[in-house]
Structure formats: structure tokens, C-alpha cells
Amino acid sequence: MKQPTIDAIRASDLTPLEQELALASFGPQAPVHDAALAANPYLQAWRGRLDGLRERNARALPLRACGRLTRAAGLVLEAVGLRLSVGAEVMIELPAGSSLPMAEAEVVGFSGDKLFLMPTTEVAGLLPGARVYPLETVPIADPMAGAKRLPVGWELLGRVVDASGRPLDGFGPLGSKTDAPLTAPSINPLNREPIHKVLDVGVRAINALLTVGRGQRMGLFAGSGVGKSVLLGTMARYTSAEVIVIGLIGERGREVKEFIEQILGEDGLARSVVVAAPADVSPLLRMQGAAYATSLAEYFRDQGKHVLLLMDSLTRYAMAQREIALAIGEPPATKGYPPSVFAKLPALVERTGNGPAGGGSITAFYTVLTEGDDQQDPIADSARAILDGHIVLSRALAEAGHYPAIDIEASISRAMTALIDDAHLDKTRMFKQMLSRYQRNRDLINVGAYSSGRDPVLDRAISLYPRIEAFLQQGFRESASFESSVAMLGALFGEGA
């Protein structure tokens, strides 16, 4: 139907009131030419009301789908009225006067029409029935297309960021123009380059006796307070890797600054990216911090760089997943750890390692906390099975002032035999034999119950032990290259050993 024009309305047989109402539908651009009509109070009232409705309509926000909170128990919130995928992000309204207008949360599960949400920010003051707004409009079928993306790039070197990619060091915005998803497709194992090149980590005992190769995944097993952070800092400062990514996951907030300033130092930080997710943040952010550190390492590997990934600790990552799984009702299995924990660990670890031949690599060191120095802890046992070797730190050695407190007898590098020559391997085996023979007879030697001459091998072990002990000790500000470590190992036994 053709829309009438203003002139046609004025030429029609409508009454003056009907003409003015019809002209009002054209908006404020339709002038009132008749003074009598303009003076009509009823028309002026209609005109004012229509103008008010137009202004109100212009201020109205677009319609947004939302749900409602129905339950908050422990770490988990329940919401109804939304259909979202697991991993989707939502915003929850907070009452007026709160420090934040909205709380952030993530969908971690569902049951029927109920969504289970895990908050990632403070939710103090949350009210029953609060509105929940999704950040995605529709469920996304491709998980990679809807994965959360965080900043990566060369601009992050020398910076300290949190688990969401926000700077913590006060040096301003990151300036990164590139981002990457927190999850990545797995690499075909047949396309990975084999581990065949040595990575110098700057620690004599590791270089000579537990040689690590580019692309190897190692576990650092230790209880609390035996020097694992100092050992990580030494490797970060003196490694031959081109880029270092450090993930501080679930550690005390005080230790983050101490590690960066006192252990890592300016030289180490200059070629490093530090991702800090302390113990006081949400378990979701702790898991996200570990995934983000891995994504950063993957980015630099894809640029052809040899990356050293230091994650402290893998146990805190597992504990964060345990908190989430138990909160949404997953039954516990081994020592309170649900089955999903043991599925998440290899999914994270397998993202590291070598890329295609001729490309970059990620050599990863994961610290594993052993409760009460129990090496049979379920997380320690699982990590030992999926890693390419393990370095055990001994509390007895640490208490005796022996640093780094590496228990050589309990440690192993599974890729070592493919990295070193036969002469190096023979000296390593001889070193371990001498050390083991002395340790087994230590009590007899200390009480004077052993007389020299009875066992020639033990006699040699006794004579070599002071040099063996000195070889294993190293100051955290001291660097020992791979070549010098091997040379010192050879000199320990002399020519022809």
C-alpha cells in the first residue's frame, strides 16, 4: 500500500485533529503550518508524548537472552533458561554497590535444563534469581571455533601476565596483535621429529648424568622446601633454549615476586614469559593458566624456536581439576581424585615436545609435589608414566646442605641413551655404580666397621666419594655447560676409565 505524503494529508477531507495525528507519524520533521493547530493543547500533548516515546526507544538496549540463577552451593552455581555449550562464558549481574557490575563465570557442566557454572571472579553479594547473560549467542559445534583466545607474540617476552593474559607487571598494555586458542589440535605422533639433540640446561648433574634432549618432557619430583624453584630458576637463566615460558600455577602469591626478582633475575626474565595463577584464584583460572603457558610455548615453537617450558606445578593443575570435578558431582576414585584428572594430565603434557622435522621444539619440566615425600602419590605415579623421565629431589640431601638436592639413583632420563656417545654412557654408569656402592655401605663406613682391602670396588668408591659429592653440588648462580659437565665427569675417573 502506498504511503500518503504530507501534502496529500493536508489536501484530504480529514478534520484538523485527524490531520495533525496523521502528520505526527512522519516524525518531528513534519512542521505544523497552521497556527490554530499549533495552539491546540491536545495536539501539543500528543506531540510531546510521541517525542518522549521516540527518545525512550532510542535509549533502549537491544533484547538479550538471559537465564536466572537458581542455586549456589560451594564453588558451583546453577542456572536455568539458557542453552550453552561446556566452556562457554557468561556474565552474572551483581547488585548495585558491588565492586564489579558483573561477575564472570564459565559453563563446566549441565544436568537436564540446568547449567553448572564456575565463577572466575569474585561473586560476593550475589543474589538468588540474578540474571545470567551469555557471551556467545548460539552453541558452537566446532570447539576450536569457539575456544577462548588469549594474546601471544614476541611482545610478551619480558612480561608477567595472569591466566587471562592481563599484565601484572605494571608496564602497560602488552601490545600484542596476535592471539591463540587455549586448546590446540594434537600433533600426529608420526609427524614429530625424534629427540636426538641435547638441550643444555646449565646444571652439571643434569647435563652429565641425566642428559635432556630437545622436545623431552621431564618431571621434577619434590616435596615442599627442597629447592625445586631454585633449580627451575637456574635452568631458566643458563639454558641454551631460545625462549623460556614459565607457568607458576597454584603457588603462593608471595613466591611469584620472589621467583621473578630473586631467582629468575633480569637476564632470565628478558627472554621469558611468566604466567602467574596463584593459589587464591579460581580453580578454573589455575587450569587456564597452565593451558595458556602451553599455548605460548606452542606459538614460539611454531615460529621455529627451541622453547623451555617450566611449569610449577603439575600437581596444582591436577588439584584444580579435582576441585571442579568434585563440585559438579563427579565421583572420586584414587585418593579423592576423580577419573577426569587422569585424563587431563596427558592431554596437557602431550601438547609439548617436538614439532615437525626441521621446526621448533618444546622441552618441558613439570614439577610434581609429593605429599610427605611419598613417591607413590597418585599424581606422581601418573606423571611418571606419561613423562620422558623424572628428577627426584631428596629432602635428606637438602637438609644436609647439598644443592641441588638431586637423588641421582632415583632419577632417570629415558631419552639419554639416544643423545650421548658410548664413552659418556660408560662414565655415567660407572658414576652411578660408585655412588650406589658407597650409599649401601655408608653406615658401615661411618661407624668404622669396614676395613679397606676387602672390596676393591668399595675402596675406589670411598676414595672417589668426596669428588663425587663435589661434582653433584652447584651454586644457583653458577653455570655449567654441557661440554664442561661431560669433561668434568671424564676427569673424575681419569684417563682410561
DSSP string, 272-332: EEEEEE-TTS-HHHHHHHHHHHHHHHHHHHHTT-EEEEEEE-HHHHHHHHHHHHHHTTPPP
Q: Is the pLDDT of residue 448 over 50?
A: yes
pLDDT by residue (tens digit) across 291-329?
A: 999 999 999 999 999 999 999 889 999 999 999 999 888
Q: What is the mean pLDDT of residues 247-271?
A: 84
Distance between first and last Cα of the chain: 104
Q: Is the pLDDT of residue 143 over 60?
A: no
**What confidence score (pLDDT) does residue 138 get?**
47
Q: Output the DSSP codes for 400-433.
A: TT-SS-B-GGG-EETTGGGTS-HHHHHHHHHHHH
Say what percent of the chain tops pLDDT 90: 50
Q: Output the DSSP codes for 371-394.
A: GGG-TT-HHHHHHHHHSSEEEEBP
Cβ partners under 8 Å of residue 47, min gap 6 = 24
**What confidence score (pLDDT) does residue 254 get?**
79
**What confidence score (pLDDT) does residue 95 get?**
87
Query: Comparing C-alpha atoms, which of 348, 127, 133, 385 is closest to residue 249?
Result: 348
Q: Taking every pair of C-alpha atoms in the chain, what is the biggest distance, in angstroms?
A: 132
Cα(461)–Cα(409) distance, integer angstroms = 15
Angle between helices 283-302 and 339-349 (to 10 degrees): 20
Q: Is the pLDDT of residue 54 over 60?
A: yes
Per the model's pLDDT, the better-predicted residue between 201 and 101 turns out to be 201
Q: Is the pLDDT of residue 363 over 60?
A: yes
Query: Comparing C-alpha atoms, which of 207, 219, 203, 252 is closest to residue 403?
Result: 203
Tally the residues of the chain: 497
Cα(193)–Cα(216) distance, integer angstroms = 11
Q: Is the pLDDT of residue 402 over 70?
A: yes
Per the model's pLDDT, the better-predicted residue between 24 and 403 turns out to be 403
**What confidence score (pLDDT) does residue 225 get?**
80
Q: What is the mean pLDDT of residues 137-160?
A: 72
**What confidence score (pLDDT) does residue 135 get?**
83
Q: Is the pLDDT of residue 333 over 70?
A: yes
Q: What is the mean pLDDT of residues 435-460?
A: 87
pLDDT by residue (tens digit) across 467-486?
A: 999 999 998 889 999 999 99
Question: Average pLDDT, whole number, for the chain?
Answer: 86
**What confidence score (pLDDT) does residue 464 get?**
93
Per the model's pLDDT, the better-predicted residue between 373 and 306 turns out to be 306
For the ranges 259-268, 426-435, 454-463, 476-485, the lowest mean pLDDT is seen at 259-268
Q: Is the pLDDT of residue 140 over 50?
A: no
Beta strand 361-369 with 353-354 is: antiparallel
**What confidence score (pLDDT) does residue 13 get?**
61
Conformation bin of residue 246: beta by default, left when phi > 0, alpha when psi is -120 to 50: beta
Q: Is the pLDDT of residue 33 over 60?
A: no
Whole-structure pTM value: 0.82
